[in-house]
Amino acid sequence: MRELALPGYTHVQHICSGASHETLMAQSDDTKELVLIRVYALDYLRKHPSLRRRIERRALASRVAHHPNIVKGLPAFVSDVDLFLVEEHCVGGELLIALDEYYRSTAAPSPANDTGRQPAQQPFRCLSLSFIRRTMQDLMNGLHYLHSVCGLVHRNIKLESIFLDSSNRAKLGRLDMCAAIPSFEVNDGTLQLCYASKHYAAPELVMGCPYKGELIDVWSVGVVLFVMLTGRFPFEEEKEVVDGGDSLLFQRICTADEVLQIHPALGMVPDPLAVDLVRNMLRVNPECRLTIEESLQHPFLLTS
């Protein structure tokens, strides 16, 4: 890795290098807090205007959103050749990695039997309901602030865009797909462009319809809740065929009400209130889907 001047910060560790940027950990000289710094070559950004727009969105959104459940953005800076984006370092990492480690630890192979067959897997054990409830409260509180105070929708909520701090509290990050919530007087408050990852895409995105950004965010959080409860995505078969795989996935998304009524994974969830919440966050008709405010008042999230 090339030497980089980091005014106000001391380099701690190089995290990774990608096609578009390098990521490193540093420590603030003033506060001694750890931060993540993403370094983008200015020449690269000039050649990739769509990436530049995403970075601009991310930087602006993270600077206006000040909430304990949103990853804190810090002032960016530039050199003659690089752009440096700075944000708080969440020591717990991505929720995706935390869940993957949990699932692996609770699905360890049982001892091999004498038939020579592959060892069976232990039954899936749900995460603690207290962790799931607290994570959902964190996500919904962060989203409510993003929507109602900042006037922004996230549009790309997934396990990889949720981070855990040192106390295992969840924070929304990766705000590069954020959009301003349109005025209802202008165009019924709907958006057009689709950015969500396929497993988290709401039916109205799959069908190419104008959509209310707040409700596709609710859908995506509903998918996250389903994964935390069951250890799998709601609309993908475990052994999906390659040919036509996405079309089958999208078909299930668009018939989610029926799919979730008989989904075998939900039958293993120990709390019926959690099942009720996930089904109502994943309603096909957005007008029947729970809002952020309604979700926060759901009995599952109010249970101590």
Q: What is the pLDDT of residue 122?
A: 45
Percent of the chain with pLDDT over 70: 86
Q: What is the pLDDT of residue 238?
A: 57
Question: What domains does the chain contain, in order, with CATH numbers?
Answer: 9-88 (3.30.200.20), 129-302 (1.10.510.10)
Q: How far apart are CA 272 and CA 54, in angstroms?
A: 40
Q: What is the DSSP string of 152-172?
A: EE----SGGGEEE-TT--EEE
Residue 114 has pLDDT above 80, yes or no: no
Chain centroid offset of residue 98 CA: 13
Q: Please, which pLDDT band fits residue 143 given cuts at 50, 70 and 90?
A: very high
Dump pLDDT digits (tens) for 223-271. Answer: 999 999 999 999 987 555 445 568 889 999 999 999 999 999 999 999 9
Dump pLDDT digits (tens) for 178-233. Answer: 888 875 434 445 555 555 688 999 999 999 888 899 999 999 999 999 999 999 99
Distance between the two ends of the chain, CA-based, in angstroms? 49
Chain centroid offset of residue 266 CA: 21
Across the range 64-69, mean pLDDT stands at: 94
Q: Is the dihedral of CA 247, 252, 254, 255 positive or negative?
A: positive
Q: How far apart are CA 245 and CA 199, in angstroms?
A: 12
Q: Residue holding tokens 């984006």?
A: 85
Tell me the whole-structure pTM to 2 decimals. Answer: 0.87
**Residue 295 contacts residue 277 (beta carbons within 8 Å):** yes
